[in-house]
Amino acid sequence: MDAAMPVDTDSLLEKMRHYWGYDRFRPLQREAMEAVLADRDSVVVMPTGGGKSLCYQVPSLCKPGLAVVISPLISLMKDQVDALTACGVQAACVNSTVPVAEKRRAAEGVREGWLKLLYLAPERLVTDRTLDFLQSANVSFLAIDEAHCISEWGHDFRPEYRQLKVLRDRFPNLAIHCYTATATEQVRHDIARQLELRNHDLLVGSFDRPNLSFQVQRRADRLSQIREVLNRHRGESGIIYCIRRADVEEIAAQLNSLGYNARPYHAGLSDVQRKTNQEDFIQDRVETIVATVAFGMGIDKPNVRYVVHAGMPKSLENYQQESGRAGRDGLQSECVLLYSSGDLMLWKRMLDDLPPEAQAPAMASLDALDKFCVSVTCRHQALVGYFGQTLESDTCQACDVCLGEVEMIPDALVVGQKILSCVVRLNERFGADYTAKVLNGSKDKRILEMRHDQLSTYGLLTDHPVSAIRDWIEQLVGQSMLAKTGEYNTLAVTQLGWQVLKGEVEPKLIKSRPQSSSTSARAAKLTDDWAGVDRGLFDDLRELRKAEAEKQAVPAYVVFGDATLRDLARLRPTTIPSFRRVKGVGEKRCLDFGPQFTQRISHYCQQHELTTDLDPAPFVQSPEPGPSSPAFKAFDLFREGLPVAEVAQRLERAESTTFGYLADFIRHERVTDPAPWVEPKVLPQIEAAAEACGLERLKPIFEHLDQSVPYEAIRIVTACLRNR
Ligand code: ADP
């Protein structure tokens, strides 16, 4: 096709609306789809969750013939095909797990021309049999997913991808389109070279993931730090990554004994056990998966709301990939990394086992990660900066640095020198705990026995708690100014450390802010996407989604994504036309699920006296995140104990919307006392009625009180009672 030939963007939008229920392109999707329509080879680089799949799926519907998609993992293919089928797109995959009858039907679909997308693993595609078959078929284009697997420079090289070199020869007239989230230029060049792309379009999106909030904490009380995150996400899915299997087992067991719903995943479990745990996570039967890095590749679950690294990953590339598994659906999600110099040392030791030529790049990646942990620049900026991009704004309002959760100490050079001189005075024979106590001026028996209270450095940091000094020691280790040596991790001053002592180099030492302010800022941020959503209805619809998914043996998100489910609980459509207008519904899903969902919504809204069939217009623009967002400001005002009417007035919002913010506030901050927002005389009445009727539903309480108390008051009191 002539490269200058105009392409029909309207038809792309029309298909996207019809099948997926989306009415707007994400950044670069239009360009990527147009390259497909115009038969220009392309390399498309977008971050995870950027919407790469649609870039080839939508145009495949606008072109005659079959699009062949090469994908590395069987599980990914199956999920993609399930999702496409749910949207009404004719798609199939052929691999060793697919029953013969299904394979036959797919072949029929190719021959008869109704199959639009065929997913294949590279090793199957390059067999002569498959190549011959496809050469005789009407193939419209070739799409290569996870295209970085072809490059040895990528983090996930797969030798079988190398065989794809035959494609150019075998299909000289077909365009080849490559998709990856891996950013380096070297990998991009390699992809184009290996596949002999011709004058290809190179489309590189921003690697930033604005819906992810990042936080780095020094690992102290691991379990409490993990629980703090989990408590912000009750009922939601998340992953906890560990370095070792033993940690996976331990954390999973600890969480379960505390009443969380967690499962382990690592290579030491049986295949059956691993598969069950993974399936249960994907199907939303289990909330948290505690895993080694063996978990994740091949998992497309879009509603992962948090990723915690309980141990440090081995590189910044790995961190980007693993943390990137959060929030693929674009909703607010958080990534928390717990770092420790012990892990850093562990990785360094492991690098020694690598062949010499691999050591330097691996060390550079590890160093980059270490810098990321101890630096005080915006985490979003640091991540995209590593991949050669810059963000326009200096502050993302979505990381611990920009949310003001980390702060540098002003006198880091002096504090650093005090610590290092103490290590020298102790003849480099003691560990971090002991050194911190000496600096703090502890009367520990051992210190007195060793007469270290006589040292000139004893009590030099007496104004600071031992835990803070301990933190700074770790930070100095992280910045290679101190080293942990020998069997007992005794501290030694490095060459760089000596430069600090001479005042030639200044360390950076971070002081942690009190947790309460940080968690509330974070919690408020996470509620932005919930504005206007009735949580009870959302939970109800989630149950319905799960039941429908189980009936069809597909993952819950194939029925509807969380973003659509939240929109349903926000707009509350009770008729098919208003259901159809919700983003992410599409024609087929409207037919398949419209009746059940609208019925459930009607029923719930009647019971809870909620308005239905709201106009989507005010919600089209998603609420602006960050401290300027109304939810965020509302939290501050509620914290001051202001009544709803006043908060509503100050924010210039309707009272009903403000009540929604208050409900989120109560849930997130675990408020137990409704006093600031409920009249004192009705409070005991509601509590007594709740005692009699239970907390499940509001209507019985409302009836019990002879309909004399407003629903909103009942809602607030029951929300607080649930937190008790
Ligand atoms: P990637 O392959 O880049 O990680 P996906 O193709 O899986 O991303 O898309 C991530 C999510 O975003 C999916 O749930 C997808 O349906 C959704 N999505 C993609 N494009 C759009 C769009 N234009 N509008 C709304 N949602 C979209």
H or E stretch covering 512: strand 510-512
Query: 671 or 431: whose pLDDT is higher?
Result: 431
The 3-class SS string of 292-335 reads CCCCCCCCCCCCEEEEEECCCCCCHHHHHHHHCCCCCCCCCEEE
Q: Quickly list H helices, 215-268.
A: 222-231, 245-257
| Closest protein CA for atom 27 of ligand 1 | 51
Q: What per-residue confidence (pLDDT) applies to 354?
A: 82
Q: Of 264, 244, 237, 235, whose CA–CA distance to 326 is shortest?
A: 237
Q: Tokens standing for 678? A: 């409920």
User: Mean pLDDT over all residues of the chain?
Assistant: 87
Query: 268 or 76: whose pLDDT is higher?
Result: 268
Q: What per-residue confidence (pLDDT) applies to 512?
A: 59
Range in 121-135, 428-442, 459-473, 692-706 with the lowest mean pLDDT? 692-706
Q: What per-residue confidence (pLDDT) applies to 392?
A: 78
Closest atom of ligand 1 relative to the 48 alpha carbon: 4
* 460: exposed, middle or buried (Cβ count in 10 Å: 0-12, 13-18, 19+): buried
Q: What letter does residue 363 receive in the DSSP assignment?
A: H
Closest atom of ligand 1 relative to the 46 alpha carbon: 3
| pLDDT, average across residues 602-626 | 67
DSSP per residue over 102-131, as a string? HHHHHHHHHHHT---EEEE-HHHHTSHHHH
Q: What per-residue confidence (pLDDT) applies to 183?
A: 63
Query: 74 or 527: whose pLDDT is higher?
Result: 74
Q: Of 320, 344, 249, whose CA–CA distance to 291 is shortest?
A: 249
Closest atom of ligand 1 relative to the 55 alpha carbon: 6
Q: What letter does residue 165 receive in the DSSP assignment?
A: G
Contact predicate 182/45, CB 8 Å: yes
Q: Over the stretch 550-569, which tens digit does the pLDDT of each residue have? A: 998 888 999 999 999 999 99
Give the C-alpha separation, 77 to 448, whole Å.
66
From the DSSP assignment, how many helices (H) and strands (E) are in the chain? 35, 17
Give the C-alpha separation, 322 to 312, whole Å.
11
Identify which of 13, 16, 17, 26 to mutate to test ligand 1's pocket (most ligand atoms within 8 A of the CB): 26
Q: Chain centroid to CA 8: how far? A: 34
- Rg, C-alpha atoms of the chain: 28
Backbone angles phi, psi at 330, to 5 degrees: 85, 0
Q: Of 130, 186, 131, whose CA–CA distance to 157 is shortest?
A: 186
H or E stretch covering 402: none
Give residue 211's pLDDT band: very low, low, confident or very high (50, 70, 90).
Answer: very high
What size, in residues, is the chain? 724
Count of C-beta atoms within a 10 Å radius of residue 405: 21
Q: What per-residue confidence (pLDDT) applies to 644?
A: 86
| Closest protein CA for atom 9 of ligand 1 | 51
Backbone angles phi, psi at 366, to 5 degrees: -65, -40
Contact predicate 291/319, CB 8 Å: no
Q: What per-residue confidence (pLDDT) applies to 629?
A: 57
| Closest protein CA for atom 17 of ligand 1 | 51
- Its pTM stands at 0.74
Q: Over the stretch 378-404, which tens digit does the pLDDT of each residue have? A: 899 989 888 888 887 777 888 988 887
* 96: exposed, middle or buried (Cβ count in 10 Å: 0-12, 13-18, 19+): exposed
| pLDDT, average across residues 418-423 | 97
Give residue 627's pLDDT band: very low, low, confident or very high (50, 70, 90).
Answer: very low
Q: What per-residue confidence (pLDDT) applies to 60?
A: 97
Tell me: pLDDT of 7 over 60: no
E runs forming strands in 587-715: none
Q: What per-residue confidence (pLDDT) applies to 521?
A: 66
Q: What per-residue confidence (pLDDT) applies to 621?
A: 38
Q: Cβ(328) to ligand 1 under 6 A?
A: yes
Q: Over the stretch 138-159, which tens digit does the pLDDT of each residue have? A: 999 999 998 988 887 666 778 8
Tell me: pLDDT of 215 over 80: yes
Q: Over the stretch 73-110, which tens digit does the pLDDT of each residue have? A: 887 888 899 999 999 999 999 988 889 999 999 999 99
Range in 94-98, 601-605, 625-629, 715-719 with the lowest mean pLDDT? 625-629
The 3-class SS string of 125-161 reads HCCHHHHHHHHCCCEEEEEECCHHHHCCCCCCCCHHH
* 628: exposed, middle or buried (Cβ count in 10 Å: 0-12, 13-18, 19+): exposed
Contact predicate 716/666, CB 8 Å: yes
Closest atom of ligand 1 relative to the 302 alpha carbon: 14
Q: What per-residue confidence (pLDDT) applies to 617?
A: 57
Q: Which whole-number Å values give the CA distances from 28 to 69, 122, 175, 589, in the listed order?
A: 20, 26, 19, 26
Which amino acid, one-letter code, is at 69?
Answer: V
Q: What per-residue confidence (pLDDT) applies to 35?
A: 94
Tell me: pLDDT of 456 over 80: yes
Q: Cβ(51) to ligand 1 under 6 A?
A: yes
Give residue 61's pLDDT band: very low, low, confident or very high (50, 70, 90).
Answer: very high
Q: How remote is the CA of residue 616 from the centroid of ligand 1, in Å?
A: 20
Contact predicate 528/619, CB 8 Å: no
Percent with pLDDT over 70 in the chain: 92
Q: Chain centroid to CA 281: how far? A: 15
Give residue 238's pLDDT band: very low, low, confident or very high (50, 70, 90).
Answer: very high
Q: What per-residue confidence (pLDDT) applies to 5?
A: 45
Give the list of residues 6+ apart from residue 529 with CB closer than 8 angstroms, or none.
331, 332, 566, 622, 623
Q: What per-residue confidence (pLDDT) applies to 79?
A: 86
Query: 310 or 513: whose pLDDT is higher?
Result: 310
| pLDDT, average across residues 298-309 | 90
Q: What per-residue confidence (pLDDT) applies to 516?
A: 45
Contact predicate 578/613, CB 8 Å: yes
Query: 479 or 71: whose pLDDT is higher?
Result: 71
Q: What per-residue confidence (pLDDT) applies to 625?
A: 35
| Closest protein CA for atom 2 of ligand 1 | 52
Count of C-beta atoms within a 10 Å radius of residue 580: 16
CA angle 82–300–560, rounded 5-degree value: 55
What is the spatial order of strands in the sheet that 201-204 belongs to? 91-94, 117-120, 66-70, 139-144, 176-180, 42-45, 201-204
| Closest protein CA for atom 10 of ligand 1 | 49
Q: Cβ(329) to ligand 1 under 6 A?
A: yes
Contact predicate 586/21, CB 8 Å: yes
Contact predicate 378/401, CB 8 Å: yes
Give the C-alpha separation, 126 to 160, whole Å.
9
Q: What per-residue confidence (pLDDT) applies to 718?
A: 86
| pLDDT, average across residues 108-120 | 95
Give the C-alpha separation, 124 to 127, whole Å.
6
Q: What per-residue confidence (pLDDT) applies to 2?
A: 41
